[in-house]
Chain A
Amino acid sequence: MELFTDYTLRNVTLGSMLLGAISGLLGCFAVLRRQALLGDAMSHAALPGIALAFLLTGQRDPFTLLLGAAIAALVAALWLLAIVRTSRIKDDAALALILAVFFGFGLVLLSYVQRQPTAAQAGLKSFLFGQAAALVERDLWAMLAIGGPALALIAIFWPQVKLISFDPDVARSLGLPVRRFEVLLTGVLVAAIVIGLQTVGVVLMSAMLIAPAVAARQWTNRLETMVLLAAGFGALAAFIGAWISAQGERLATGPVIVLAMSALTAISLLIAPERGLLWRRWRLMRQWQIGNGE
């Protein structure tokens, strides 16, 4: 398949699959800890970080820009926490507020950057919806450098992460440093977001965090399986997306990946055994028929 032999296509395909797998896996914890919206707010909040990093350094180097993105997303998360703790504003309202403020500021900065005469600003706008076609080998290494440690931390502290995701109060009563783990899990979420920014962009990134977890939950009742399945779904969606957009129609890869992921999720919600909509409907019918047959 030329998806893996052609140098450019290979980078796009592998990079997208890497992103899909890592964000799918790490996104499970955001979903299970009911922080899906936080992921969305942090993705959007990354935009001003990217623009500022570029303005301050004048570089379009992925590490520099992604560092800016990570810092902005973390600032947004901390700010959010401070608002919820110290005011009467409810957390969903605070999320909406933070998202709007950061994203709006990001758009303003972006339009300012766009008017600069330097050639280096070219392509900064692609962080809005991503530009998978521009992925080069260096980006793949950047993804691995950020995603690898995040995955390793989850693996090392697996029992603790599992308990804290399920029941943080009891975890704390057992003496686990829950606060520190919450910071760790937020950091991991930021890592996942940062990895996806170049490929799917700040607007659609949260879909790559949340959809694989939702789809995977349908097929299993074990956290271990769910996490691996989410990674698999994310990678599969990325592969399908890369393949479709390589068919010559010049469709933007990032949005096509998100669409593929949405389709996988819709199918899972419909047909998964035990939990799927159709499956439950079918079982109801069966019971009804058995009831009538007597």
Chain B
Amino acid sequence: MAFAVEIEDLTVAYGDKPALWDVDLRVPQGVLMAIVGPNGAGKTTLLKATLGLIKPAAGSVRIHGQPYEQQRRLVAYVPQRSSVDWDFPTTVLDVVMMGRYGQLGWLRRPGRAEREAALAALEQVQMADFAHRQIGQLSGGQQQRVFLARALAQNAEVYFMDEPFQGVDAVTERAIIHVLRKLRAAGKTVVVVHHDLQTVPEYFDQVALINVRRIAAGPVREVFTEANLRATYGGRVALLGANGSAGAVTTPTPAPGD
């Protein structure tokens, strides 16, 4: 099997407190993978360390078989919506065009090619009508779609998304899942930090359960079991379906307080 992402022995610490410990993760090409785990489990840290935004204490990352540093162009990142200031003076179209800046080259200004790529990406997330809006005027769901469009404008092979479904409206959730499926159909790989355990079996092919360490990873049918969820969430998971056995589609919800 060809792997889009191969993470080996990844260890990250903030000060002397480990946020990730010796994590191995392989993502096959062309799948949608969810990363789940409780708050503070290190999911965001995993994405950031994979993308070189945090320097890991140890570990290596390969994308499509080559070290990440040589494959940046194949990778797009959708950070958590709250990671930027939405009052920044700029428009939707401008933000989406930023996805092209990696290929812009020095001394060049974004021009027609960048504009068209950005508009096409906005079309895919049903935000074309908002191209000239100030970003501060958008709802949370619209902001999320703009971030997604910026990643689409990069035309990457592998996408890392941090909580794209967090606090979005139903329209946005459907729009995002539609885009994810189209990406998969085009053979792209998408890794999504996801907080809603109920929708994991419906939305994703693979799942990685993370709590500082990697608890389990693999196809949802095999890995998304009650035992693994308990190991990840420390027994604070209430399974709604009585059948918590492997292979069955369970509908677990995290207990209040997560």
Contact = CB atoms under 8 A, between A and B. Distances in A.
B89 A220 contact: yes
A165 interface: yes
B45 to A, nearest CB: 13
A41 B88 CA distance: 24
Interface string B94-134: 11001101101011111000000000000000000000001
Interface string A213-232: 00001001111011000000
A173 B89 contact: no
Contact of A175 (B98, B102, B107, B150): B102
Interface stretch (B4-12, B75-83, B195-203, B250-258): B75-83
Contacts of A160: 101
B48 A166 contact: no
A88 B102 contact: no
Contacts of A159: 101, 104, 108-110
Interface string A163-204: 101110111111110000000000000000000000000000
Given A156-B107, A169-B53, A174 B90 contact: no
A163 B101 contact: yes
Nearest to A157: B106
B84 A166 contact: yes
B108 to A, nearest CB: 8
A81 B255 CA distance: 40
A173 B53 contact: yes
A25 to B, nearest CB: 14
Contacts, number: 76
Interface string B50-84: 01110000000000000000001101110100011
A223 B95 CA distance: 12
Contacts of A165: 88
A32 B83 contact: no
A222 B154 CA distance: 23
A157 B104 CA distance: 11
List 10 A-B pairs, minimum CB-CB distance, nearest first: A174-B102, A221-B134, A173-B77, A175-B72, A223-B89, A173-B51, A163-B98, A226-B89, A166-B88, A167-B84
Interface of B: 15, 48, 51-53, 72-73, 75-77, 79, 83-85, 88-91, 94-95, 98-99, 101-102, 104, 106-110, 134, 136, 150, 154
13 contacts: A32-B88, A158-B109, A163-B98, A166-B90, A167-B83, A170-B77, A173-B52, A173-B77, A174-B102, A176-B101, A217-B89, A221-B134, A223-B88
